[in-house]
């Protein structure tokens, strides 16, 4: 369906001659002004199926070496025509002539050529110039004996607008009613007006010898614009006869090889005035084009016209010269004649080849992509040969493995892709188009240009590894470099330029950034204790079209620095007082110091030291576990209060530490020593033990009611007394927390490999002794013991203490 429609469309354009469509646009519009829809107005898409219309592309034919700035641009996909710059009709066209510009538009389906449309854009002139006189005032003279109807010429106004209406000028005379003057207007051959002031009555110099009147020049634009000429009239004798040409139109024919030393023609004009008023000079008028002025030269005195330089073959064949003959009167009078010069071509000249590229080009080099399809249209070739007969008949050819020349009609061709291109095999091609006419002898011309094959983005960026690992110490400054992400892409240009970005899940803050060259750096200072490892992905993307990308896994390890000093968990307050009762041959362990450090690894490895208070060498502190024990057996003389300064240090660099003060109130019990060791040399240990158990059971059975009543009374009395001893509660609470966390017997190994030991401690509160059997727990076991004691409540603990005290009394 599309092929048949395309054939009909091509045949229709091949038989169509001249302009395909004409648009109108007003000068002075801003760049980007909409001109017209070429696709819709030329009905180009009427016979193309809807699914194929989206493949249609429009492009303006660009000359290899442009002679002027581009005035229009064509939308590639829609075919709509817009202005590319502000249009100025006066700069584009010659005044009073039809003002237009031709736009050649190439139409393709994908990379396949369809046709070339020749669009004619008419530029409508805007009335942006007012008529201007050469001077703001002019001086003329009338003789006092001049009769009615005498005339004096004055200069006409010129309007620079290009439009016919905007450049047409009407004149009006402003004067007083008693002034005997009128304005006469006559048309010259070049379209300008010939102005003169006509005398309506006889003048009397003795009554009035000068007058001032105004001539108003107004154009026919919308709105009209005008200017004023002040005419100063003095009464005297004046030059009143303009020069007269022998003929108004001169028609001259010359050959291309005309001798520059011989005049083309000689103009003749006469003036019936006398003396200076009859001397004539010749000049080109303002209506003569600048091109004609460069080709022809006019002798001011004789009126001879010469060829200034040789006319090049292929240039315009007809030129119009407007010559003005002016006398030397005051004011001067003038008349205008037109000279038509026809250039006759009698020689055989070689053809001229003009190559315009559809794609982007620089000079004589066009750039195309390596993935361009076979048959794609890349250049438009137009051949010019203005010779007559067989001298102007031309045939062209192109010999190349990758490119082919196809005819589009008389002296028009297109260059298409013949075979697939491969940039990796060859990225540059030199093309020569040869054209030859059929003259005798035949003349030959060549046009050479180059094709640069552009790379296509067909390779994805690659990483050397799937996962990249970096490490950085904590506490570095922000924007500290972490490491480089290195990816490679063998494509060229933008396709090989890579940009990097971090892929963030938006749920967690990622304290990193990555530069365009792949350098990962920190956004903020990192903290190992907050997060030690970061896992994220980096996306690399090339700048090709379409763009390809890839990702790599990145692991950043935040290495620890010793930036956190240890602190004591027990004792939790500083200073701290601990009351200890020593039982000979039974008590060894005292308590366990516990500290923590937020750092990791060697920075969190802690060592304990006792810096003062152990002058008697009574105590020993395990530097690794924090276990505080008695270093020897004690006597009554060792009892007393001991003040210790304890320090805990980490193993980092530099070493960080913390200190605390511990006071131990030591009591050495002799009674407990005798009770535990009194039967070592007398009687049978088993008999004593069974006897003791029996006594305890009987005593407990008899004394339970008495014990309960006494306990209640004792608790009430103690509660009343404790109200007056609030200052001691905190100290007692700390001791209960450390020493009396449970009434159950508990065993704990002092050090690995030692046997489990038990010891008794007595906590003194006022005049009461509360005895319990408990163990000392290292580390988290001590914490758990404290927690279980705290959950028991203060009243339960006091009730149990009373029970223990009464039981001891019964024993």
CATH number at residue 29: 2.60.40.60
CB of 190 within 8 A of CB of 287? yes
Q: What is the chain's Cα-based Rg?
A: 58
Of 559, 579, 610, the domain-final residue = 559
Kindly state whether residues 84 and 173 are assigned to the same domain: no
Length of the chain: 811
> What CA–CA distance (Å, rounded) separates 261 from 278?
29
Please choose, from the candidates 230, 254, 93, the residue with its C-alpha nearest in 3D space to the C-alpha of residue 160: 93
The Cα 192–Cα 5 span in angstroms is: 53
Model pLDDT, residue 447: 92
**What are the start-end ranges of the H helices in 589-684?**
671-677
Q: Tell me which H or E stretch contains 90.
A: helix 89-92
Query: Are 296 and 395 contained in the same domain?
Result: no
For 517-573, strand residue ranges (E) read 519-522, 533-542, 549-559, 567-570
Task: Read off the tokens for 748.
Answer: 């704990």
Cβ neighbours of residue 213 closer than 8 Å, sequence gap 6 or more? 173, 174, 175, 179, 181, 197, 230, 231, 233
User: Quick one: three-class SS letters along 300-322?
Assistant: CCCCEEEECCCCCCCCCCEEEEE
Residue 341, beta-bridge partner list: 252, 319
Beta-carbon contacts of residue 389 (< 8 Å; ≥ 6 apart): none
Would you say residue 685 lies in a domain?
A: no
Residues 426 and 466 in one domain: no
- Evaluate whether residue 686 is within a structural domain: no
pLDDT-flagged residues of the chain (< 70) = 1-18, 63-69, 94-97, 125, 162-165, 237-238, 240, 313-316, 345-347, 388, 671-811
472 and 530, same structural domain?
A: yes
416 lies in the same domain as 308: no
pLDDT value of residue 302: 92
CA-CA-CA-CA torsion sign (783, 788, 793, 794) = negative
| Rounded Cα distance, 154 and 196, in Å | 5
Where b means 16+ CB within 10 Å and e means fewer, 270-307 reads ebebeeebbebbbebbebbbeebeebbbbeeeebbbbb
Residues of the domain holding 466: 462-559
Cα–Cα distance measured from residue 441 to residue 449, given in angstroms and rounded to the nearest whole number: 27
Please identify, among 559, 593, 624, the residue that sits at the C-terminal boundary of a domain.
559
Tokens of 508: 């967690």
Report which secondary-structure segment, H or E, holds 16: none
Q: What pLDDT sits at residue 766?
A: 31
Residue environment code for 484-502, b if the CB has 16+ CB neighbours within 10 A, otherwise e:
ebebebebeeebbebbbee
Residue 190, CA atoms < 13 Å, CB-side half-sphere? 23
SS3 554: strand
Neighbours of 147 (CB within 10 A): 10
Query: Is-contact 307 295, C-beta < 8 A?
Result: yes
**Which residue in 561, 408, 543 sits closest to 474, CA to CA?**
561
Residue ending a domain, choose from 419, 454, 489: 454
Instruction: Give the single-character DSSP code of 121.
Output: E
Give the pairing of strands 549-559 and 467-473.
parallel
Q: Which of 117, 115, 111 is nearest to 42 (CA)?
A: 117
Does residue 514 sit in the same domain as residue 540? yes
Element (H, E) at 798: helix 794-810
Q: Within a domain: residue 688?
A: no
One domain, residues 339 and 358: no
Handedness of CA 704, 706, 709, 714 (dihedral sign): negative
Domain assignment present for residue 684? The answer is no
Contacts of 593 (CB under 8 A, 6+ apart): 568, 570, 571, 608, 621, 626, 627, 628, 646, 648
Tell me if 326 sits within 8 A of 301, measured CB to CB: no
Indicate whether 193 and 159 sit together in one domain. Answer: yes
Question: Is 683 contained in some domain?
Answer: no
SS3 assignment, position 141: strand
Q: Is residue 493 part of a domain?
A: yes
Pairwise CA distance, residues 810 & 710, whole Å = 13
Give the 3-state secondary structure of residue 621: strand
pLDDT (0 to 100) of residue 722: 43
Q: What is the pLDDT of residue 284?
A: 93
In-domain check, residue 690 = no
Same domain, 701 and 730: yes
| Bridge partners (DSSP) listed for residue 47 | none
- What's the total number of domains in the chain? 7
Same domain, 115 and 150: no
CA distance 419 to 434: 21
Residue located via tokens 């100290």: 731
Closest CA to 281 of 320, 236, 326: 326
Say if residue 794 is in the same domain as residue 721.
yes
The pLDDT, as a whole number, for residue 682 is: 40
| In-domain check, residue 702 | yes
Residue 299 is predicted with a pLDDT of 93
Query: Residue 132 has what DSSP assignment?
Result: B
pTM over 0.75: no
Q: How many CA atoms lie within 13 A of 386 on its CB side?
A: 11
Question: Residue 425: left (phi > 0), alpha (psi -120 to 50), or beta?
Answer: alpha
- CA 264 to chain centroid, in Å, comes to 64
| Partners of residue 305 on adjacent β-strands | 265, 298
Write down the pLDDT at residue 715: 54
Beta strands in 709-788 (DSSP E): 748-749, 756-757, 759-765, 768-774
> 604 and 650: one domain?
yes
């Amino acid at each position: 369906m599309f092929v048949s429609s395309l054939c009909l469309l091509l045949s229709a354009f091949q038989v169509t001659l001249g302009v395909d469509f004409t648009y109108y646009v007003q000068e002075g519009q801003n760049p980007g002004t909409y001109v017209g829809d070429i696709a819709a107005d030329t009905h180009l898409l009427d016979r193309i199926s809807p699914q194929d219309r989206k493949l249609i592309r429009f492009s303006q034919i660009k000359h290899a070496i442009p002679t002027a700035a581009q005035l229009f641009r064509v939308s590639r996909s829609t075919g709509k025509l817009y202005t590319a710059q502000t249009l100025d009709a006066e700069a584009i066209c010659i005044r009073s002539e039809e003002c237009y510009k031709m736009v050649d538009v190439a139409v393709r389906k994908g990379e396949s050529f369809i046709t070339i449309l020749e669009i004619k854009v008419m530029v409508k002139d805007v009335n942006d110039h007012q008529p201007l006189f050469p001077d703001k005032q002019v001086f003329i003279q009338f003789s006092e004996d001049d009769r009615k109807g005498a005339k004096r010429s004055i200069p006409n106004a010129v309007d620079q607008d290009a439009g016919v209406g905007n450049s047409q000028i009407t004149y009006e005379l402003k004067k007083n009613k008693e002034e005997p003057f009128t304005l006469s207007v006559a048309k010259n051959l070049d379209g300008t007006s010939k102005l003169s002031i006509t005398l309506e009555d006889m003048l009397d110099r003795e009554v009035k010898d000068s007058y001032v009147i105004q001539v108003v020049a107004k154009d026919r634009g919308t709105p009209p614009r005008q200017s004023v000429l002040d005419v100063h009239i003095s009464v005297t004798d004046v030059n009143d006869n303009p020069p007269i040409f022998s003929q108004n139109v001169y028609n001259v024919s010359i050959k291309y090889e005309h001798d520059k030393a011989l005049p083309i023609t000689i103009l003749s004009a006469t003036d019936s005035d006398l003396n200076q008023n009859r001397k004539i000079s010749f000049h080109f008028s303002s209506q003569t084009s600048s091109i004609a002025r460069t080709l022809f030269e006019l002798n001011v005195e004789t009126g001879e016209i010469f060829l200034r330089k040789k006319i090049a073959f292929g240039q315009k064949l007809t030129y119009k010269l407007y010559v003005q003959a002016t006398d030397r009167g005051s004011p001067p009078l003038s008349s205008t004649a037109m000279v038509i010069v026809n250039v006759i071509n009698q020689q055989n000249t070689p053809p001229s080849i003009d190559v315009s590229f559809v794609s982007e080009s620089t000079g004589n080099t066009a750039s195309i992509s390596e993935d361009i399809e076979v048959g794609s249209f890349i250049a438009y070739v137009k051949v010019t040969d203005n010779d007559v007969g067989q001298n102007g008949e031309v045939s062209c050819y192109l010999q190349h493995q990758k490119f082919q020349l196809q005819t589009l009609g008389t002296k028009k061709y297109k260059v298409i892709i013949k075979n697939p291109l491969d940039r990796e095999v060859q990225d540059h091609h030199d093309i020569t188009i040869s054209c030859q006419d059929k003259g005798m002898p035949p003349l030959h011309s060549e046009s050479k240009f180059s094709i640069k094959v552009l790379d296509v983005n067909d390779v994805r960026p690659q990483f050397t590894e799937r996962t990249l690992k970096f490490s950085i110490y904590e506490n570095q400054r922000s924007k500290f470099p972490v490491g480089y992400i290195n990816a490679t892409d063998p494509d060229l240009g933008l396709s090989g330029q890579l940009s990097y970005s971090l892929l963030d899940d938006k749920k967690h803050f990622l304290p990193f950034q990555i530069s365009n060259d792949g350098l990962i750096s920190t956004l903020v200072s990192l903290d190992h204790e907050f997060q030690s490892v970061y896992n994220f992905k980096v996306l690399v993307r090339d700048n090709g079209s379409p763009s390809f990308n890839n990702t790599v896994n990145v692991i950043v390890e935040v290495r620890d620095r010793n930036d956190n000093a240890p602190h004591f968990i027990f004792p939790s307050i500083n200073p701290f007082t601990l009351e200890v009762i020593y039982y000979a041959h039974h008590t060894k362990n005292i308590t366990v110091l516990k500290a923590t450090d937020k750092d990791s690894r060697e920075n969190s490895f802690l060592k304990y030291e006792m810096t003062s208070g152990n002058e008697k060498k009574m105590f020993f502190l395990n530097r690794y576990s924090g276990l505080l024990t008695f270093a020897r057996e004690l006597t009554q003389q060792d009892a007393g209060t001991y003040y210790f300064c304890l320090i805990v240090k980490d193993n980092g660099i530099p070493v960080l530490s913390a200190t605390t003060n511990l006071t131990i109130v030591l009591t050495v019990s002799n009674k407990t020593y005798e009770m535990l060791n009194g039967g070592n040399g007398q009687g049978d240990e088993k008999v004593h033990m069974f006897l003791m158990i029996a006594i305890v059971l009987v005593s407990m059975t008899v004394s339970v009611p008495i014990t309960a009543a006494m306990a209640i009374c004792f608790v009430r009395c103690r509660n009343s007394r404790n109200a007056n001893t609030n200052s001691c509660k905190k100290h007692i609470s700390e001791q209960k927390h450390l020493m009396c966390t449970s009434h159950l017997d508990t065993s704990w190994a002092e050090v690995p490999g030692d046997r489990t030991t038990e010891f008794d401690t007595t906590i003194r509160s006022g005049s009461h002794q509360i005895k319990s059997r408990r163990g000392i727990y290292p580390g988290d076991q001590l914490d758990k013991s404290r927690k279980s004691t705290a959950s028991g409540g203060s009243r339960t603990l006091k009730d149990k203490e009373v029970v223990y005290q009464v039981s001891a009394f019964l024993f």
